[in-house]
Structure 1
Amino acid sequence: MFRGSGQIHSDFRIRSRDGHLDLTDGLQIHLLELPKYAVPSDSRVITDPVEAWQYFFRRANEMTTQEIEQRFNSPAFTEAAEVLDMIQRTPQQRSQYELRLKAQRDDRARLQQARLEGKAEGKAEGIIKALRGVLGIEPTSLDELSLEQLETIASDLQRQIRERGV
């Protein structure tokens, strides 16, 4: 693309013409000119992340998923290898792969929701315990209140304590 440049990797960003202002730091375009990349021997260890991606893009079609995992030992490359593997599958195999990914995402969402609910329940129990101790209220009367109602009672009590100067 840039024949006059010997650079293999170009990093583009959106800046003002004078170069003093970045429009955003959230957008970068990395261009790898793979024909300029000389693939090293398989025995050489690649430590530079950009070179690792160059090697991956040039050699991934010749490697198995297991070889890619061993060569790069990185979750990003493992995921990229899985995507390449998925692209080569039949439509039915791709559908099964997508269903498995959806199930994994659903499981993570359920677990996250359960954690949030557990935190809210624990917070409500803490408020109830504190209110019982302060007010001497029967446990059953507070158990029926929502978290929002308990927080309102707690806020009112805090306001009353501040007003009394305690």
Structure 2
Amino acid sequence: MTKRLDLRVDFAFKSLFGTHGNESILTAFLNAALRLPEEKKIKTVYLLDPHFNKENQEDKRSILDVHARLEDGTRINIEIQLNNKHDMEKRTLYYWSKMYSSQMKEGMDYGELCQTITINIVNFRYLSHINHYHSVFQLYEREEKLLLTDMLEIHFMELPKLLIKWRKKEVDPREDQLVRWLLLLEASEDEEITQVLEEIAMQEDQVLKKAIDEWERVSQDPEVLLAYEARRKALLDEKSALRRAENLGEKRGREEGRKETIKTMALGMIQKGIDNKTISDLTGLSQEEINNLRH
């Protein structure tokens, strides 16, 4: 079997879920993600222009998100993130606000604005204090837990948490369609997941079968592979840069901690009346630094 694209790479994800002709795949994913009752199931999605954000360099990356509109006007933005940049809450609010405000046209009434939903699929643990792999946030009054409006809805789907539950057999893709679609993102590196999903596709889920067939097809397309490898390399470089920055921050933090410990020791010696030379010999502080502490 041909090596398939890693669907956790945003370019590959969009090639499958955000490409014209694959609307039925996106529809199935959204119905699973939003857990809508049967009578409100999504029947049609319309892919939107991915370039609605173009104000700065960060906005240009939104072309790898999936933007869609539902029949009732609801706007949806799906972003997949491999690397934790520690800015997810601000990032998702920014993109939510851009998509919400982009609906407004001259002469339009505020009452015509439609619900806007952002879905963040992340390949790292983000909400460490929550065990659920799928979390949904809306605007509530703090004391009464009263929903202010359903115009804002933000989802976080954490793949590492889902994998843990999968390995513990706490989730079943045969029973839960969202589990099914999210595990598909992990399938390129897990033969067991691939086998289970292919069985489900053959036995009961025609849309999943279409997704797997399309995934197989794009994974053999030379042009797609070229763009995919370039994007994957960029993400790996980004991950390395983030790791270097984190290591540098940790090193600086340790150094600052060491300096504070030395200063605390020196202050204790000063309070005991120990002379500057002895303090300097024991701590490595200069005479000037010790004098500053005395004042």
Class of the TM-score when normalised by the shorter of the 2 chains: 0.3 to 0.5
| TM-score, normalised via structure 2 length | 0.24
Bigger RCO (CA 8 Å, 6+ sep): 2
Identify the structure with the greater helix proportion.
1
The structure in which a higher percent of residues are strand is 2
Tell me the TM-score normalized by structure 1. 0.39
